[in-house]
Amino acid sequence: MNVNQQTPMASPYGQPQPGYGQPGYGAGYPAPYAPYNNPASVYQPGAPPQGPLRGPPTSVPAPVSAAPQAYSHYGQGEMQNGPPPGSQAPPRPAVSQPYNQGAVNLSGPPQPYPQQYGAPPPMQQVTNQMTGMQISTGPPTAAGPGYAPPHSSQPPTSAAYSIAPHPAYTQGPPPASMAPSQPPPPRDPAPPQPYYGGPPPPQHPASSASAAPLPPPPSSHQSFPPTSYPGPQAPLPAGPQAPLPPGPQAQPPYAQGPPPPGSQPHYAPAPPHAHGSYPAARGPPPPSQPGPYPPAGPPPTSAPPGHYQGTMPPQPPAGQPATYHSGPPPPRAQMPPSSMAQTNHLPPGPQGPPGPLGPPGPLQQPPPQPGMQGGYPPQQNGAFGQVRGPQPGYPGPYPGQQNYGPQAPAPAAQAQKRLDPDAIPSPIQVIEDDRVKTTEPFTTGVRGQAPPLVTSNFHVKDQGNASPRFVRCTAYNMPCTADMAKQSQVPLAAVIKPLATLPPDETPPYLVDHGEAGPIRCNRCKAYMCPYMQFIEGGRRFQCGFCSCVSDVPPHYFQHLDHTGKRVDCYDRPELSLGSYEFLATVDYCKNNKLPQPPAFIFLIDVSYNAVKSGMVNIVCQELKTLLDHLPRENPEMDSVVRVGFVTYNKVLHFYNVKASLAQPQMLVVSDVADMFVPLLDGFLVNVKESRMVIDSLLDQIPEMFADTRETETVFGPVIQAGLEALKAADCAGKLFVFHTSLPIAEAPGKLKNREDKKLIGTDKEKSLFQPQVGFYSTLAKDCVAQGCCVDLFLFPNQYVDVATLGVVPVSTGGSVYKYTYFQAQSDRERFLNDLRRNVEKPMGFDAVLRVRTSTGIRATDFFGSFFMSNTTDVELAGLDCDKTVTVEFRHDDKLSEETGALMQCAVLYTSCSGQRRLRVHNMAVNCCSQLADLYRNCETDTIINFFSKYAFRSVLTSPTKTVREGLVNQCAAILACYRKNCASPSSAGQLILPECMKLLPVYLNCVLKSDVLLPAADVSLDDRAYLRQLLSGMDVSESHVFFYPRLLPLMKLEGDSLPLAVRDSEERLSKGGAYLLETGLHLFLWVGANAQQELLLNIFGTPSFGQIDPNLTSLPVLDNPFSKRLREIVDAFRAQRSRYMKLIVVKQEDKAELIFRHFLVEDKNASGGASYVDFLCHMHKEIRQLLS
């Protein structure tokens, strides 16, 4: 495999190399680098600066072109890697690069491996790694022969990258010194060189030479540490690398890389094919990249090449983890990144090919390190190259080793520093790449096709499968068997948002009326008519796509078939041609066989002392007056048929009779909270239009009536009971809006006590804090669901209110919880009102039942979200709004066939806001595969993370958070290890290879692990955690994505209509002289650097001085300048995008509030012990290696 890869690599590189023309490196590596660089550059824009850049540029271009292709491949499916037939080779590089880098980084530590893997993994990353590896390979070659040697040599190299790398890393690291392990590094450096020298003497020289230069560069590049790597790779980088003396060493390997050139040739041959994708590496197999991969097997997966470990075997020894750490620690943070980079670099480095890389290097990271770049490219390409080099030496088998070799070198450099953050997979890059790539509308007709990322704008054309706006899957190519699924550990799940709002340019699902008989369904499994039903016998019968049962077509539905066996009216009927549509349900689908009444909204307002004092009561009452004109309706021309009712409460409940015929509203006080009932029927739920006068009068009087209240105690359970009873009495479904302030301590059912106990955090008993305090609410929730009573809870707490318990009902009824801690009328009014407005107005269904049917072979086994289940199949939702999602996990209960794929149909029976009973059906078909590689090519990381986080957040109810965190890490490690083992081309064990489509898995996973729920900071209250926990359960993929990995936009330049390119969530990405906007879906921060330019401040705040900025601003001043205008537009656009209004918080650098802000810089280490991205990647790598060994 390796060989193949390498070869391919070579070829690809070869090509590129040519382009690069550079020295030895140039040839083979360049190409790869270039691509990498590109990506890299993208990622590490900053880095590029280096001289090497130039080189890169050149390379860049190449890559670019390549990139696109690559993307095409990759972009589409991760598949690309594999698939992308040769031609794309270049592109891949690009792609791969990014990945690789990421991968590399990982590999960094493990460098060697990664690289190697990289290589194998047709995946770029892999390749990168590989490259890195290769570099090491160079040495490895030596090693190859006898690992031992390589080891030694590699180690060094690897050291550079990773632990094993120690040596290698160490080398780099030594400086880094970071990790203890590193210490050894120093040696590494030496060794590496030697190694390198040894093996690739020639290179060495070169490298060394380069190295020499490198040192200097480092200074410049420092930040780029990554570059340093490159340094190694490309002499150019050397400059930058300077810091990375080791780098140089590494480089040497790269230098070797150069030799690779020689190898290149080898590669070249292969590459040609491989080109396209890393596979290119496998190029040989190139023909069908997959093919090549196949060898790699997983190769495609390899893409995932997250494998950083170029290091390979050597590393293992080293104990990569250490390396990683070491890597990172050393130089500045960046350095660490560099280490990461190293991984990447390594490859590059090794790649010497760096030459080419060099250029790229510049582009990307520390381009400075051209060398680095070289390194990178090497990794990717280079790696291969190197590998090849080595390969040559080594027969195919060890290619990996080779990788190591190369890596080693790079690693060496890295080792000194930490992984280069710029070298590890960058979410921003991935997002950006996908965004750029997504230009065509996404058509859903093709089975198993992964949709664009949630962060990209795209148009969807429904051609038979549900739009990704409705359904997203973790995998679009499901394993055929349970064994495969178990082996891969990849969760098979779908995130379904049944009532999602579509953009205006997409048609909402059509409403189909099949008449009195109701929707046509399969006789056996009851699946609804859909495009997967096969009409046979001239159209008289149809065969169910799910269970294969043959049913008769009712006469009124009969239609002739055309010559292809399709019904003639196929395209006239939404249910035969579309993925999503609605049926009009008949009375058989209604509760008690009675057509439903229009739903009702009941507003229940806390009027205790706190509520009045905070201004909440006043605001709610004022707002309701206008809000009532915006109740949901299906026909905008008509008045809403939703009826409304009002209740206020403290220790007792006050119902209001607002019958139209009354001159004044009447208040009915119910003090019997122990046994709640509704005191009136007629006059409680009214039509807004008819009772307008009375309602207005009531809303005017409520604040007055309770203005002087001194009642501080509240009840809660009876409040919901009251709403429920009212709906029961009116015999309709509906929604309760509860505005509540405090822990319900008054004597009543559902009374709670304060149980917040910080001492329990981190203990085995912590889970109890997430569980409801009393069983009362669970029972109540059940009753609510039975009646179709959805509860939305707006909390305004000043202290602990036990969200874990209060939230039980909302969460079980499809409702939402909103929390406005320390609510102040002035500052929080806007947020609250916007949330309320949106909540009231949003389209929703009531009394819903959701059922997921699947084709034989898989089964929906687990569900996550805000709902209630009384059996194992029916998801009952008292309310289902357009923002709520249900995540469904599937498990095999039989085999799936590749031919038919796997089908799923999600049917939601609900009552619309006009009281119509409907069925919404979403159909989804995905492919099935018997090769793991195919699985890994078609996964969607964002969705996986969505699933994992929901799973984990639910698990905290039953397990200690520590166990949950470990479980997550283990599963991810298993996924990646499986890929590495089965899909990535063989490479050094020290190399971290990530599948292309999962290369962000570690970074996102880290974000999940660091979330307040799983790893709370000291200042995070139990309520906050419970709140977030519940909140997440209903999030869709785009929300969970930004929630875990916030969007951070630099605001220095706002031009045109496009948004500035986001930067990664790390403090080091922030410039003191700038301002940034950070969005999490819940929070919106405007961070202002202490040295922000006057002009910027003037534009934003209208004040020239940093000191004059009011940190309490909640909205941006309206200034008449294009910048301000655009910024406000952006803020508005962000808000419009999210289901909850984000209050703007201005954070001044060095201000207290910055602590909160920093919490969202998720790539950094956080105060509560959350690992930095780099560290975590290393950790992950270690886990994977353990699994592999």
Partner 1 sequence: MTTYQEFIQQNEDRDGVRFSWNLWPSSRLEATRLVVPVSCLFTPLKERPDLPPVQYEPVMCGRANCKAVLNPLCQVDFRAKIWACNFCFQRNPFPPSYAGISDVNQPAELMPQFSTIEYVVQRGPVAPLIFLYVVDTCLEEEDLQALRESLQMSLSLLPPNALVGLITFGRMVQVHELSCEGIAKSYVFRGTKELSSKQIQEMLGLMKPAVSGQQGRPAAPQDPSATCRFLQPVHRVDMNLTDLLGELQRDPWPVPQGKRPLRSTGVALSVAVGLLEGAFPNTGARVMLFTGGPPTQGPGMVVGDELKTPIRSWHDIQKDNARHLKKSSKYYDTLANRTAVNGHSIDIYACALDQTGLLEMKCLSNLTGGHIVMGDSFNTSLFKQTFQRVFSKDYSGEFRMAFGGTMEVKTSRELKVCGAIGPCVSLGAKGPSVSENEMGVGGTSQWKVCSLNPSTTLAMFFEVVSQHNAPVPQGGRGAIQFVTQYQHSSTQRRIRVTTVARNWADAQSQIQHIESSFDQEASAVIMARLGVFRAESEEGPDVLRWLDRQLIRLFMFHLRRSPFLQVFNNSPDESSYYRHHFVRQDLTQSLIMVQPMLYSYSFHGPPEPVLLDSSSILPDRILLMDTFFQLVIYHGETIAQWRKAGYQEMAEYENFKQLLQAPLDDAQEILQTRFPMPRYVDTEHGGSQARFLLSKVNPSQTHNNSNGWTQEPGAPILTDDVSLQVFMDHLKKLAVSSST
Residues that bind partner 1 (CB under 8 A): 652, 654-656, 662-672, 675, 677, 679-683, 698, 701, 704-705
Block residue for tokens 């390749």: 127
Give 664 or 1105: the residue with its C-beta nearer to partner 1. 664
Cβ at position 628, least distance to partner 1 in Å: 18
Half-sphere exposure at residue 809, Cβ-oriented, CA atoms within 13 angstroms: 33
What tokens appear for 827 in the block? 């500052």
Determine the Cα–Cα distance for residues 656 and 38; give it in Å rounded to an integer: 66
Give 664 or 1186: the residue with its C-beta nearer to partner 1. 664
Determine the Cα–Cα distance for residues 11 and 263; give it in Å rounded to an integer: 10
Contacts (Cβ under 8 Å, ≥6 apart) of 1170: 1006, 1009, 1010, 1015
Cβ at position 677, least distance to partner 1 in Å: 4
Cβ at position 626, least distance to partner 1 in Å: 21
Backbone angles phi, psi at 1077, to 5 degrees: -110, 125
Determine the Cα–Cα distance for residues 557 and 812; give it in Å rounded to an integer: 39
* Count of C-beta atoms within a 10 Å radius of residue 562: 12
> In this structure, are residues 318 and 1001 in contact, taking their beta carbons and an 8 Å threshold?
no
Helix/strand/coil percentages in the chain, nearest 5 = 45, 15, 40
Strand pairing report for 1075-1079 and 1047-1050: antiparallel
> In this structure, are residues 918 and 909 in contact, taking their beta carbons and an 8 Å threshold?
yes
Give 664 or 958: the residue with its C-beta nearer to partner 1. 664
Cβ at position 545, least distance to partner 1 in Å: 48
Give 620 or 678: the residue with its C-beta nearer to partner 1. 678
Give 701 or 1166: the residue with its C-beta nearer to partner 1. 701
Give 641 or 652: the residue with its C-beta nearer to partner 1. 652
Determine the Cα–Cα distance for residues 430 and 1000; give it in Å rounded to an integer: 8
> In this structure, are residues 364 and 38 in contact, taking their beta carbons and an 8 Å threshold?
yes
Q: How many angstroms separate the Cα of 1149 from the Cα of each of 103, 288, 1105?
A: 33, 53, 13
Cβ at position 1006, least distance to partner 1 in Å: 53
Cβ at position 639, least distance to partner 1 in Å: 24
Cβ at position 774, least distance to partner 1 in Å: 22
> In this structure, are residues 942 and 1040 in contact, taking their beta carbons and an 8 Å threshold?
yes
Q: Which residues pair with 1085 in a beta bridge?
A: 1078, 1145
> In this structure, are residues 987 and 993 in contact, taking their beta carbons and an 8 Å threshold?
yes
Q: Which of 281, 261, 254, 275 is nearest to 9 (CA)?
A: 281
Cβ at position 674, least distance to partner 1 in Å: 9
Cβ at position 731, least distance to partner 1 in Å: 10
Burial class from Cβ neighbours inside 10 Å (0-12, 13-18, 19+) for residue 660 reads middle
Q: How many angstroms separate the Cα of 312 from the Cα of each of 116, 144, 351?
A: 7, 10, 16
For the chain, how big is the Rg over CA atoms in Å? 31
> In this structure, are residues 150 and 143 in contact, taking their beta carbons and an 8 Å threshold?
yes
Cβ at position 699, least distance to partner 1 in Å: 11
> In this structure, are residues 654 and 667 in contact, taking their beta carbons and an 8 Å threshold?
yes
Q: Which of 620, 1017, 668, 1050 is nearest to 820 (CA)?
A: 620
Cβ at position 728, least distance to partner 1 in Å: 13
Give 728 or 1126: the residue with its C-beta nearer to partner 1. 728
Give 603 or 1085: the residue with its C-beta nearer to partner 1. 603
Give 609 or 796: the residue with its C-beta nearer to partner 1. 609
Contacts (Cβ under 8 Å, ≥6 apart) of 930: 479, 480, 481, 484, 898
Give 537 or 672: the residue with its C-beta nearer to partner 1. 672
Strand pairing report for 817-819 and 789-795: parallel
Give 501 or 697: the residue with its C-beta nearer to partner 1. 697
Determine the Cα–Cα distance for residues 1079 and 351; give it in Å rounded to an integer: 39
What tokens appear for 225 in the block? 């540490």
> In this structure, are residues 673 and 655 in contact, taking their beta carbons and an 8 Å threshold?
no
Give 639 or 672: the residue with its C-beta nearer to partner 1. 672
Cβ at position 723, least distance to partner 1 in Å: 16
> In this structure, are residues 9 and 130 in contact, taking their beta carbons and an 8 Å threshold?
yes
Determine the Cα–Cα distance for residues 1014 and 847; give it in Å rounded to an integer: 33
SS3 for 947?
A: helix
Give 578 or 746: the residue with its C-beta nearer to partner 1. 746
Cβ at position 809, least distance to partner 1 in Å: 22
Half-sphere exposure at residue 465, Cβ-oriented, CA atoms within 13 angstroms: 26
Cβ at position 1048, least distance to partner 1 in Å: 51
Determine the Cα–Cα distance for residues 385 and 378; give it in Å rounded to an integer: 6
Cβ at position 748, least distance to partner 1 in Å: 12
* Count of C-beta atoms within a 10 Å radius of residue 893: 12
Give 680 or 1017: the residue with its C-beta nearer to partner 1. 680
Give 709 or 959: the residue with its C-beta nearer to partner 1. 709
Cβ at position 750, least distance to partner 1 in Å: 18
Cβ at position 588, least distance to partner 1 in Å: 25
Give 711 or 874: the residue with its C-beta nearer to partner 1. 711
Give 570 or 680: the residue with its C-beta nearer to partner 1. 680
Give 662 or 1153: the residue with its C-beta nearer to partner 1. 662
Residues in the chain: 1189
Cβ at position 710, least distance to partner 1 in Å: 11
